[in-house]
A and B are shown apart, each in its own frame.
Chain A
């Protein structure tokens, strides 16, 4: 006799529903399944109309983020066995507009990500023949933690500040900006600081810390934000206030 788990899923069809509703499915329990397997089972065997995002199934692509029993999780890395007795309630990531069922609109996040220019900026590019931009192990270690971000947006779903103020640049974008600001090959920090130090940037964050708790990759965006706050003030005081002509280049 197979064991079953009740999986309650938020459904929303923009063409027929004014607001979301919940639907419960009975999914067979398997010790080795992750939550995404249960959702895929629903899609394949029980209800083909269910919409959700997923891709790699190994915690790399960051597309299967959903709220599992109220907490933002990568469903491909969240085991069904941890919810065997509690039951499962699957919802789309909080703080984002829902397009359909478990699919959220990520346009706002993508625009914010692009605004911090998460790539290496050089004032003058070396010709390819000049060779690589070399780094020591210590130089790599300065930013390695922040480079683990997979843009899964769980940090945005966990952040009540972003929930209240959608203008907030948000944890992942700031963590990625910091990743490049700390990179010894990069020379674009002055371009990024205009976005980071704006009123919608680092100063919106009141250090709830849930972004770091939710991050499946240990990126610690809260740390990145607080360090950026300190460096921004330090740079302003030391550079612009205390040094003659410090605010000029």
Chain B
């Protein structure tokens, strides 16, 4: 078969490509939850921006510690903490699936990898929290 003839056999006259559309993430629950998971980073970034602003304020002598009746700040922190935990849990839940720790010609069981990941998060949170509370207490 000549190249031209082969081309005419294998190439359709015209094809139709269905556009995905901007609302694709609303079509399935799993797509929606994926978008929620990805959006959690917005709150993490928002809190970090606020934190950096406070550090800058501290440097220039304009820092004012948040008070317990600052409800807007408390609400902001709770929302950010919720989405940060959501992000951390969804991420670490996958650690057992992704990380393969070789032991001889086998691999460490996924549940052990996941346990270590969550254990590490707990350790860092407790130790980090204790250091921050201590530093706040002694008012360095």
- Using a CB–CB cutoff of 8 Å, the interface residues on chain A facing chain B are 12, 14-15, 17, 19-20, 70, 94-100, 105, 136, 138-139, 160, 163-164, 206-210, 213, 223, 226-227, 229-230
Which listed residue, A20, A138, A209, A227, touches B100 by the CB 8 Å rule? A227
Asked whether any CB of chain A lies closer than 8 Å to the CB of B17, the reply is yes
Q: Cβ of B97: which chain A residues have Cβ within 8 Å of it?
A: 223, 226-227
In the complex, A247→B28 CA distance in Å?
44
Q: Cβ of A223: which chain B residues have Cβ within 8 Å of it?
A: 97-98
Q: Cβ of B2: which chain A residues have Cβ within 8 Å of it?
A: none
Q: Which bucket holds chain B's interface residue count? A: 20 to 34
Query: What is the number of contacts between chain A and chain B, taking CB atoms within 8 Å?
Result: 65
Whether the pair B20, A95 counts as a contact (CB closer than 8 A) is: yes
In the complex, A195→B38 CA distance in Å?
26
Whether the pair A105, B25 counts as a contact (CB closer than 8 A) is: no
Q: Cβ of A20: which chain B residues have Cβ within 8 Å of it?
A: 16, 18
Residue of A nearest to B37 (CB): A207
Whether the pair B94, A99 counts as a contact (CB closer than 8 A) is: no
Q: Cβ of A12: which chain B residues have Cβ within 8 Å of it?
A: 16
Q: Cβ of A226: which chain B residues have Cβ within 8 Å of it?
A: 94, 97-98
Whether the pair A14, B94 counts as a contact (CB closer than 8 A) is: no
Asked whether any CB of chain A lies closer than 8 Å to the CB of B30, the reply is yes
Instruction: Say whether, besides A97-B16, A98-B15, A105-B12, A230 and B98 are in contact (CB < 8 Å).
Output: yes
Q: Cβ of A227: which chain B residues have Cβ within 8 Å of it?
A: 97-98, 100
- Using a CB–CB cutoff of 8 Å, the interface residues on chain B facing chain A are 12-18, 20, 24-25, 27-28, 30-31, 34, 38, 94, 97-100, 105-106
- Minimum distance in angstroms from B29 CB to a CB of chain A: 11
20 pairs of residues in contact across A and B, judged by CB atoms under 8 Å:
A14-B12, A14-B14, A17-B16, A94-B18, A94-B20, A97-B16, A98-B17, A98-B18, A99-B15, A105-B12, A160-B24, A207-B94, A210-B28, A210-B31, A223-B98, A226-B94, A226-B98, A229-B98, A230-B98, A230-B99
Residue of B nearest to A67 (CB): B18
Whether the pair B15, A105 counts as a contact (CB closer than 8 A) is: yes
Q: Cβ of A230: which chain B residues have Cβ within 8 Å of it?
A: 98-100
In the complex, A213→B30 CA distance in Å?
10
Whether the pair B13, A210 counts as a contact (CB closer than 8 A) is: no
Residue of A nearest to B10 (CB): A107
- Minimum distance in angstroms from B4 CB to a CB of chain A: 18
Which listed residue, B12, B24, B94, touches A163 by the CB 8 Å rule? B24
Residue of A nearest to B21 (CB): A163
Q: Cβ of A164: which chain B residues have Cβ within 8 Å of it?
A: 20
Q: Cβ of B105: which chain A residues have Cβ within 8 Å of it?
A: 136, 138-139
Which listed residue, B15, B20, B25, B34, touches A14 by the CB 8 Å rule? B15
Whether the pair B38, A160 counts as a contact (CB closer than 8 A) is: no
In the complex, A163→B100 CA distance in Å?
30
Q: Cβ of B20: which chain A residues have Cβ within 8 Å of it?
A: 94-95, 160, 163-164
- Minimum distance in angstroms from B92 CB to a CB of chain A: 13
| Nearest 8 interchain pairs by C-beta | A97-B15, A163-B20, A14-B14, A226-B98, A99-B12, A98-B16, A138-B105, A14-B13
